Structure 1
């Protein structure tokens, strides 16, 4: 029998206090900094085991960042946002917890709940939505799922880390209403409703103070107002000042072992610059995290081993979540599902576009993991179509400006050599990407490393001028066969260390090779180990490969000819790792390369053209009115191809709705600034009007509004009844009213609808208040109950620095998107 939760909490608190009481100052301080890249401790004198943290927004990497240690890759957070389904988010959380336990991690650095302030934000794909309600509800559900699995979470990046340019130093300036109603709102909801065990402080400053030192927002708002009792951890290398971080409430400085705490904090306490009571408070919270995670002796974990959830199948879960996230933006003449019209028999599908065979399953940076395999659109379709249906493929022009890691035809091994040229270790390579962070193969110390050699053979499958690339920062020597192709330095394009790591420069060289004839290859990266690892250790470089070049015009013509003779043309387009990645913002929303031209030419040749968009953030689609259907697939995770086949062929319905507004033209985007001014400040001059509210305020018409999405059936909104309870709501997320909505599936197959409730008059003041998923068989009606929380009828009073409840009347509207609203009513809150 599971013990009463309050009893277990009391026992944990007692154990934490008992440990803290017997620790001296250095031992307490030892709890407050990382031991290495991903772990804290152990501290034997405290009974504190090794506590491991791991990146985890879309999959849990563990302590190794390498293809040789694969992880389940879930759909990107924008895809999860598109489900509009808390249960889907909770399911993703349960799988993340399961993966964390398998990888030996106790805390995942997730979810990312910054907002889609503007589509130019480079890390857009890693956050859920442009709306704080949708973001907060889904974030809380994911936190709940992860922590039900006995693993901690750290919602991030607290707060206003909504763009990447100069993210280490940018100073965001926002008024208090904007902060409270938008950017703090998701964090508040999660803290109050899901009780995360941790939170991550952002790199950026807010109104002049960096978030790792922000006493007002950390100690005042987060802990004082919201009651947060978890650990506030720095973003990696984000802790910069010993005294200001300690007084500002930063519990854990990562990574280690060299941090602003340690001996520096001990000295600050002994010199009277930091009270020891402050250190006690920081240490108590770190001990509580260890207790909850089960690595503190004598303290019961938050979830006992016997109470863990039933295991999930990672592949099946990833596939189901992906299908539920796909958004059908357009579907003329019922083009989808394929083969659904008996009058138009399906015999041949012409597929075009490089992402059909080489999809982006996830975004770059902290969200990146290496899955055991990736299902492509081609894989999925060819496995799912009947035997009498032919699937052909033409890649079209390559939209990438950088070559992919060497894979097909390559057999590679990485060998580590010491400063004395002695071999230290070897590691088999799945491809040409060499990436080690925090630890090296074979336990080699970074200080002992002199160079890394990537060696092996390349056996091409076609004759011609192949391309080999070196990508990285530092000194490299590339040999192929008996030729020296490069011996020199590559320098970073940016001062941002993350950009140098995630988007390093590339040099490309030509190699004439013959099909079936093996060519020895050797790429040497010289390393000064002492320079490679002063903070946490990092080796990252790539050997890239590209097949012999075929002119883009010819590739487009091949795709057009193939499409013209097919029953259906399917074009898959998307962004690249240069255009969507952590560490860099976007400078255009256009699809890279000649993908727009490919779609337009194919659509002109075949009126039954379906376009699948493989992107984590909005892109421009100038051809959208000239194609039969547009299906948004986001970054769909490792099972994306199978899930797409399910949806394209009608085995599953595209269940997603847009979590952010998609523009028709860049000039229409109402919020665009991501670059700080000359003083390093980024003003949020738009105030609380971002996303659909900004579009309404500007009077512009986007391509597709927030909340939009079609299915394979139709829905009628039949009734809306608003009920006000007799009691008084105490907390901000207690209900002040319930909206009961009856919807009917008027189509010919079972379906899924997202019922959206908006509060406020038409225009920029109307905002999402609640939402829920409805499912019904053909012809059936279902009632959906939507709780309107107190916070929905409150506004932040900047003068009084408090929330004020507005008595109303409040217009309520329900429907299918921010502008497709079917029923209305009024809600009056008593004075």
Structure 2
């Protein structure tokens, strides 16, 4: 332990108490030992720190925080493929944390985009673990360079919002090691984030917050993690088991609920005090490191706004540019159509929502540039029903302009934390608008906003498509910068855009049943699936156009034959053969030419963003290590290279390979290679989107667990109200609750309404107690469970009433939770 001198002076009550939050956002302070309370605050693309906010009606705004810079979210920054720029963003976030006395910024989120339907994909980087890891590591480096901590999340295999607090992710170890864990591993080994946030879900039967294999065996013993583990807010299940597994800090405060359980477990001998001491020591270490970040800091709001604009420009992806309609000519008469041109969607909804200092929009940016524009709304953002009058106005305007620029995209009602998307379509009124306008003006440019892929039924008719993802507070001006050619677009897609939802490898197993979600597709996620099984796509991974053109040449490998302990240097040249200065993202993929175990067609193992003046040529060098050629060998419990030829593929996307060469790699370890060709042939010659039970069990190494709750067993604290539909009383309560929630949805709250619905029906009953500041007591939970299990209603109500006095006393705690 690092701080034995401090931990040894703590009483048992103090040790137990410091393992839970002081309130919603702070750790417990112990003044006599010099341990201050430190603030952990939502990120990851800006600070959402609670303060004295007042909404327009004079009430407290519980979701929006104090004003801060809203940088582009991860869905956009990943499209920049620029680690240096993201490190700069991290430094700026660190400066804002210092000014606001925030010790730990809760981010970045590195969950893999298993399906484009995940409602929180806007907060995550990519479908690829290597790109995700590199971007996350850069952000962490920037933030922690200011002596401000980060909390990389959500560890691990939390790739959906549906039933996220109870779902059991069923995945084989190889898939976890190659797809869902590498970004965390990279961040730990390169930057040691101060904290790691465990996820809500179960992983192969055990909640991640009490999963010893994940939290101790892999994270600490294998990867060498030295920092503190914190639960996601309300993510603690059985607190004693969490301590045993190495879960250090529970957030938020449970106001004695779990502290008493820990205290009793120590006294009874169920939990060794030495195990508690280890967790306490790591919390103390985080608190003491935070003291170094307690400096009087300030930042220039305007400078950070300009940095946000600079970042946003590099995140914009040009998907189509027929007849070089872009950049726009400033002397043209331009129809600017779409409510999002004036009221942009620039970030996602949920816990990452930032209250921006400033907010640009494209309409104002066009005016500032003195462009001749005519604006019309085209649709109402609060609905997806086409409005004939608004569309008619847009058609009239578009007819009389040289170019029509339509701003469209996903609204908060379509994607948010708390629920998943149901389809890949844009709102119907957006699609109807685009179709109507392009029918009268073929010079139509579509600018998209949204956190994940969408279908584009009008793609063949429009001249250009600009994908802005979600660009933060300066996204409006950054978009106009690109449209007018002030800078050439240089973003590349960090995920594949499919032609149909049915083409996605996870679709048949997303979001799973009420109990489990099976990752049957294994390692075939994103382009690893589409490219291996030769699926046509709308736009491939890594794709993005420029206003210039580039020529690749001169591929060289440092060696033609290496051992798996050697490093390989890949070098090649890129020349800007166009007429404008521009940047290109060169990507290196590795392909195992012949392998015993099933492997993807190719995998990203390196990339570099290169800035080139018109006519300029540069040499790019990228080093590949053993992991670039390895797979996770479950028989050896280690990374393994199978001897043979590997292709080094250099290109501008996963589907546009421009240079290639071969290297022979010799394995230095004589280990058995798993061969599933007889036991799981579907992974070799079938379709990974349609894996049989037998094939999945073969790679899983055990029978597939039941995917539905055994309804003969009583409900317990881990169950939700939604689980209670099988009981008589539970069904009646669900009917009443659903009717109320339908009325809430009718209030047209966008994503907030759906989030409230999901929380009400999917929140485990344990969280009624642990997250209510003591207002909903354990006695009340016992009474509620008795009723839901069709026990005697009067005695159940009696238990709830008996808990009221204690609950009422704790109402004062609610103020501290906000």
TM-score (norm 1): 0.76
The higher-RCO structure (CA 8 Å, 6+ apart) is 1
CA drift of 1:829 comes to 2.6
| Counterpart Cα distance in 1 of 2:208 and 2:501 | 32
Which residue does 2:722 correspond to in 1?
A: none
* C-alpha RMSD over aligned residues: 2.2
Say whether 1:718 aligns with 2:553.
yes
| Counterpart Cα distance in 1 of 2:336 and 2:511 | 42
| Counterpart Cα distance in 1 of 2:419 and 2:477 | 31
CA drift of 1:221 comes to 0.2
Say whether 1:252 aligns with 2:87.
no
| Counterpart Cα distance in 1 of 2:562 and 2:325 | 51
CA drift of 1:744 comes to 0.3
Which residue does 1:781 correspond to in 2?
A: 617
CA drift of 1:728 comes to 8.0
CA drift of 1:400 comes to 2.6
Alignment equivalent of 2:368, drawn from 360, 383, 397: 383
Which residue does 1:28 correspond to in 2?
A: 15
Say whether 1:94 aligns with 2:81.
no
Whether the 8 Å contact between 1:67 and 1:371 is mirrored in structure 2 is no
TM-aligned CA distance change 1:679 to 1:607, over 3 Å:
closer
TM-aligned CA distance change 1:81 to 1:747, over 3 Å:
same
Whether the 8 Å contact between 2:564 and 2:665 is mirrored in structure 1 is no
Say whether 1:622 aligns with 2:453.
no
Whether the 8 Å contact between 2:98 and 2:294 is mirrored in structure 1 is no
- Give matches, 1:253-292, under 5 Å: 253-258=250-255, 261-292=258-289
TM-aligned CA distance change 1:677 to 1:73, over 3 Å:
closer
TM-aligned CA distance change 1:726 to 1:626, over 3 Å:
closer
- Give matches, 1:741-756, under 5 Å: 741-756=572-587
> 1:786-809 deviations in whole A, cap 9, x for unaligned?
121321111111122221123332
| Counterpart Cα distance in 1 of 2:524 and 2:167 | 21
Which residue does 1:405 correspond to in 2?
A: none
Which residue does 1:348 correspond to in 2?
A: 333
Which residue does 1:313 correspond to in 2?
A: 303
Which residue does 1:576 correspond to in 2?
A: 411
The secondary structure found in structure 2 opposite 1:285 is: helix
Which residue does 1:819 correspond to in 2?
A: 655
CA drift of 1:19 comes to 1.2
Which residue does 2:175 correspond to in 1?
A: 178
Which residue does 2:132 correspond to in 1?
A: 135
Q: Mean alpha-carbon deviation: is it higher for 345-354 or for 115-124?
A: 345-354
| Counterpart Cα distance in 1 of 2:661 and 2:65 | 57
Which residue does 1:329 correspond to in 2?
A: 319
Which residue does 1:224 correspond to in 2?
A: 221
The secondary structure found in structure 2 opposite 1:716 is: strand
| Counterpart Cα distance in 2 of 1:290 and 1:827 | 49
The secondary structure found in structure 2 opposite 1:703 is: strand
Where structure 1 has 5 or more consecutive residues not aligned to the other structure, the ranges are 1-12, 295-300, 340-344, 403-548
Which residue does 1:54 correspond to in 2?
A: 41
| Counterpart Cα distance in 1 of 2:214 and 2:637 | 13
CA drift of 1:674 comes to 6.1
Whether the 8 Å contact between 1:66 and 1:370 is mirrored in structure 2 is no
The secondary structure found in structure 1 opposite 2:230 is: strand
Which residue does 1:666 correspond to in 2?
A: 501
Which residue does 1:63 correspond to in 2?
A: 50
Alignment: residue pair count: 652
CA drift of 1:326 comes to 0.1
| Counterpart Cα distance in 2 of 1:778 and 1:259 | 65
Which residue does 1:156 correspond to in 2?
A: 153
Q: In proportion to residue count, which structure has more strand?
A: 1
| Counterpart Cα distance in 2 of 1:260 and 1:760 | 53
- Give matches, 1:453-464, under 5 Å: none
TM-score (norm 2): 0.77
CA drift of 1:67 comes to 5.2
- Give matches, 1:614-653, under 5 Å: 614-653=449-488
| Counterpart Cα distance in 1 of 2:485 and 2:215 | 49
The secondary structure found in structure 1 opposite 2:373 is: strand
Whether the 8 Å contact between 2:149 and 2:193 is mirrored in structure 1 is yes
CA drift of 1:69 comes to 2.2
Q: In proportion to residue count, which structure has more helix?
A: 2
Which residue does 1:398 correspond to in 2?
A: 380
- Give matches, 1:400-415, under 5 Å: 400-401=382-383
CA drift of 1:593 comes to 2.9
CA drift of 1:688 comes to 0.6
The secondary structure found in structure 2 opposite 1:760 is: strand
> 1:623-664 deviations in whole A, cap 9, x for unaligned?
112111100011110011110111111112212100000112
TM-aligned CA distance change 1:88 to 1:371, over 3 Å:
same
Which residue does 2:791 correspond to in 1?
A: none
| Counterpart Cα distance in 2 of 1:812 and 1:35 | 53
TM-aligned CA distance change 1:259 to 1:646, over 3 Å:
farther
CA drift of 1:823 comes to 0.2
| Counterpart Cα distance in 1 of 2:666 and 2:600 | 25
The secondary structure found in structure 2 opposite 1:809 is: strand
| Counterpart Cα distance in 1 of 2:346 and 2:429 | 21
TM-aligned CA distance change 1:288 to 1:729, over 3 Å:
farther
